[in-house]
Amino acid sequence: MHAEEAVTAARTPADASAAEVMAELAALEDPRARAVNERHGDDHGVNLGKLRAVAKRLRTQHDLAVRLWETDDTAARLLALLICRPKAFGRDELDRMLREARAPKVHDWLVNYVVRKSPHAEELRVAWSADPDPVVASAGWALTTERVGKKPEGLDLAGLLDVIEARMRDAPDRLQWAMNHCLARIGIDHPGLRARAVAIGERLEVLKDYPVSPGCTSPYAPVWIAEMVRRQEPGASAPR
């Protein structure tokens, strides 16, 4: 048996599938999509609609997802996050993956599509929120924001506002964005703390001048809170 044949014979079905998927992703590469994505720090050129179509066809394949993640290719990692089995990852594995997630989109999908569904989500939320790396800490705040909205029992919401008030204005961009989202969520979902959340937003003025497209809501917390509360009112119309 020739060396090349031996290598081929030794490959597992998952190996072969990973190679085929990588070739498919390479064929989907679009320079225009890459240019747009790179402006946001995401180094890939695959249209996300097409990427999701590939994921829909592949369905859940956890072993393949692990192999795609290990390529360190951004498009492959995004696909991996769509076809993995979130509960199959261990706590330390998820922590390592977050620290390896170079691209913002990979970071966001890992937190929102995988970690949120993991039995380790709460433990990681606490650990990441206190991490000295601001990008890692932003993941902890993203998980905290979800709890604020869906399962606030046991959270010290007033304490979270204390931290936001003290640290958000000078926080690095990704961490600042995550803390601002948490501020808005507290103001939207917890009427007893709404006035304080709005006051903090008004004093810090974080994202006050953020450019917003017509029909979209500003991420400036006082505006965001007011608009979302308005929409919850009986008979409320679409965004103004």
Q: Does residue 119 have a pLDDT over 80?
A: yes
74 and 103 Cβ atoms separated by less than 8 Å: yes
Across the range 176-192, mean pLDDT stands at 99
pLDDT digits (tens, 9 = 90+) for 64-79: 999 999 999 999 999 9
Counting residues of the chain whose pLDDT is more than 90, the rounded percentage is: 85
Match 């917890």 to its residue by tokens. 190
Confidence of residue 238 (pLDDT cuts 50, 70, 90): low
Q: Does residue 62 have a pLDDT over 70?
A: yes
Give me the pLDDT at residue 42, please: 87
157 contacts: CB under 8 Å, gap ≥ 6: 148, 186, 190, 193
98 and 109 Cβ atoms separated by less than 8 Å: no
pLDDT digits (tens, 9 = 90+) for 153-167: 999 999 999 999 999
Amino acid identity, residue 181?
Answer: H
Across the range 104-131, mean pLDDT stands at 98
Query: SS3 letters for the chain?
Result: CCHHHHHHHHCCHHHHHHHHHHHHHHHCCCHHHHHHHHHCCCCCCCCHHHHHHHHHHHCCCHHHHHHHHHCCCHHHHHHHHHHCCHHHCCHHHHHHHHHHCCCHHHHHHHHHHHHHHCCCHHHHHHHHHCCCCHHHHHHHHHHHHHHHHHCCCCCCHHHHHHHHHHHCCCCCHHHHHHHHHHHHHHHHHCHHHHHHHHHHHHHHCCCCCCCCCCCCCCCCHHHHHHHHHHHHCCCCCCCC
User: Taking the model in full, what pTM does it have?
Assistant: 0.88
Q: How many residues belong to the chain?
A: 240
Confidence of residue 6 (pLDDT cuts 50, 70, 90): very low
Confidence of residue 97 (pLDDT cuts 50, 70, 90): very high
Confidence of residue 2 (pLDDT cuts 50, 70, 90): very low
* Cα(76)–Cα(51) distance, integer angstroms: 9
Q: Does residue 81 have a pLDDT over 60?
A: yes
